[in-house]
Structure 1
Amino acid sequence: MAVLRLDEISSPILLQGNSRIAYRDPAAMHHEGVFRLFYTLTETEPDGSIYMYTATSESKDLLTWSEPRKLTPRDRSLNYSSPGNVIRYQNRWVMCLQTYPRPDGEKYGSRDSRIWTMTSEDLVNWAEPELLLLKGPEVPAEQMGRMIDPYLIKDNKDSGKWWCFYKQNGVSLSYSYDLENWTYYGNERAGENVCILQIDNEYVMFHSPENGIGVMRSSDLKSWTHQNRLLTLGQQEWEWAKGRITAGFVLDCKQVEGIGKFLMFFHGSGPEDEQVIFDTHACIGIAWSDDLIEWHWPKSN
């Protein structure tokens, strides 16, 4: 079994983009000694066409990561991407993700962007994605509106109840008792790429406004209090993230031997703003914390 030592990580960059590739929107998990990153892999092909995939890499020590493995098809009319998280449900793994259609080379995903899930028995082989009717069965899929960046979390006060958070009118909320039949609840003022941790009897939400990572807290997943502090980590010193730091995903590794902390995975774009280099150069980075307030990271780069 690999010995984990955060002080051996020499760079805050785990996956480094370039002029052809961007790594964005990380989601992470730790299972049976393996860290798995799921993320948006954006590739620019030789003719300049751009395709987005949900992809994955694995590591046992956070130092070396396997080459990206694509989990979704090459199809610009779908562009499955932005995996939110992976949960355990009825003896299977369930990942939530989005489609981000750019069929004619558009810069951003069209109004047809929607939320999906796909399932796995082993975290390696994944079934075909299934669309979530997050507005309820009475609202046709084509009328649900543009929705991206999902996250699934179980309600600790209502057994069997699951919530899906997603970017629409701030962050919108829908709930389900079977992950198939959904009821729309409402929306809350927040940024994109929501990630939520349950800490004791409180929920802590990380979300991404225009730049940086915001924090919100709630006792019931419905009413949220905005915290004043905006996390920008080492952005002032990081050329690779000068344009934007975003999509913070926090993984509770307090009980993982050799870690004992919260790990944050995020992506940074730079030195130009994401509006300039949306499809290239983005990197996935790492930081860590003991208390979700003070954050630390490798000091190079």
Structure 2
Amino acid sequence: MMKLEGMAAFVAVADAGSISEAARRLGLAKSVVSERVAELERLLGASLMQRTTRKLTLTVEGELFLHRARRIIRETAEAQAEITERRGSLGGPLRLAGPTGFGMLHLGRMLNGFLALHPAIELSLDLDDRFIDPAAEGYDAVIRHGPVQDTRLIAKRLATSRRLLVAAPCYLDRHGIPASLEELRQASAILYSNRAADWRFRSDEGETVLRPRARLRVNSGIVMRDAALAGLGIALLPTFFTHEHLASGALRQVEVGAEAESAELHVAYVRNRTASAKVAALTDWLRAEIGTPAYWDR
């Protein structure tokens, strides 16, 4: 009879790309993982992997079986979690993804408290600034900063995210303080490269889109903030990146008579899956931790 532990070992090796790395992630000896995969192959009567001294690749049979094995393991974990939840407690695996900068500065700390409250939950957290597809990549939920336009997803708002133009005093002393959108066009801009480089503003005259001259393009909000602190230019950043530096005076807000377009933080999950009690509890916890208004905007 096929064992779940064999399928779990196979999936871990496929994800990790090597038996030794899979063993490290599973907390098992390399020989144990290797034997579990070998036993699975014997039961199936097929080779699932091609092993060489330099790399490990899946066979055609391995690629086919991997999809099924992932689904079986996920559904088993969900069934175990459902039983636990019916008993009045939260437990089992919870796979979550979120943006890197927000995760490092805020999300990690908030999750520590959530896990202390629910010690039976086994959390896997991946931080990545790209827009992760929870349906395709097997996440229970994702934290997303920005619009959720995928109709396959249900999004629960956590907080509104204000964005401000910021610069270091040394930059403003050297180059002057832009007082209007027209003057802002001439500034050295620090831009986020994962999205369109437009800066969007609202004022009494309507909406304005600026495409400033880029001094730096980078796909990290933290690196953008640090570049602004170093005096390289003006950055348009969420206040959850800059609130402490604005309070200390290390950064100053640049006011140009118009308000920058805001964004929102969401928890999103796949529409055709019922939101688990763990995801609902996590959403409530994050909303309470962030507060209204968000603690970084108070």
Q: Which has the higher contact order (CA 8 A, sep 6+)?
A: 2
Q: TM-score, normalised by structure 2?
A: 0.23
Q: TM-score, normalised by structure 1?
A: 0.22
Larger strand proportion, structure 1 or 2?
Answer: 1
Q: Which has the larger Rg?
A: 2
Larger helix proportion, structure 1 or 2?
Answer: 2
